[in-house]
Amino acid sequence: MLENPLHSPIGVFDAGIGSYGMVQLIRQNYARQDIIYFADRASFPYGSKTKTELAASVSSAISRLADLGATAVVLASNAPSVMVLSDIQDRQPVPVLGIYPPIAQALQLSASGRVAMLGVESLVRSPEIKAFVDREAGGRQVALVNASPLVQLVEEGLFLSAPGATLAALRTFMARLQQDLPGLDVCTLSSTHLPWLMTFFRQAAPGILFLDPAESLIPQLRTHTTEGTGRTVCVATESASMPLGGLQDMLHLLGVHLQPQRLPS
């Protein structure tokens, strides 16, 4: 249990720093909501796991958050939300909300009809995302693009410590994408790491609209929010390759004053 229990907290998690963006959005919209932010670094990266492994990691994280007092949980990662959440949702101890690529919104906003979903490799290659896009797109074409290399720019903090190199990488990535997809005018940033790069995406491709999938979840959270203390507590697991110190360094670079509490891996 937490040292200082929170009031009906919402749990927010994924396998790295990406989900802290969801914490910020919740705080901006529900100032008094208590939040448990769980960086499950021992499970990083979600994008390399099989569907069975992913379901096990996600279920374990949800159970941990429920044990810490969370009354609802946000799975702040597109890939497991699409790939496994519907299979395990009914067996969880608390309500779980996922984040999904805003395909229908992207197509509605597109003038050219050329839309791309950027996500991790496991998501763009999965049959689940193809079925999801078919349902959401109504027969219209959506390009599924592997953006896994860009995730490392966020997880390793390079977008903060090396902004010049980050912008160069985004310009190269977007130039190739626009060459492959002439007329592209809307992209969904369907990994919770990618919205951290929003400024770089806009500089690299100013003619394209970039959508953050997390924003559409905020209204859905209203029924799960309460007036609490407005505190955020950070808990984390670690591994040899993803030590707790790395998370502390990232939070410091972001100007976030949270002290991660270590959970057993």
Would you state the pLDDT for residue 1? 60
CATH placement of domain 10-99+215-262: 3.40.50.1860
Residue 27's nearest CA partner among 225, 234, 248 is 225
Q: What is the pTM of this model?
A: 0.92
Would you state the pLDDT for residue 3? 63
Q: Are 114 and 140 in contact (CB under 8 A)?
A: no
- CA distances (Å), origin 84, targets 52, 97, 104, 213: 8, 12, 21, 18
Would you state the pLDDT for residue 228? 95
Helix, strand or coil for residue 74?
A: strand
Instruction: Summarize pLDDT for 139-159 with one digit per residue, the tens.
Output: 999 999 999 999 889 988 899
The answer, yes or no, to whether the previous bond of 45 is cis (omega within 30 of 0) is: yes
Q: Where are the alpha helices (DSSP H) in 10-146?
A: 20-29, 51-67, 78-83, 85-88, 103-109, 121-124, 127-137
Planar angle of CA 136, 193, 84, nearest 5 degrees:
50
The amino acid at residue 161 is S
C-alpha of 115 from chain center: 20
Q: Identify the sign of the CA torsion 221, 225, 229, 235.
A: negative
Would you state the pLDDT for residue 41? 94
CATH 3.40.50.1860 residue ranges in the chain?
A: 10-99+215-262, 103-214
Tokens of 86: 């519907």
| Sheet of 261-262, strands arranged across | 96-98, 72-75, 10-14, 35-40, 232-237, 261-262
Using 70 as the pLDDT threshold, list the residues of the chain that sit under it. 1, 3
CATH topology (fold) of 103-214: Rossmann fold (3.40.50)
Return the C-alpha torsion angle 218, 187, 162, 40, nearest 10.
Answer: 50
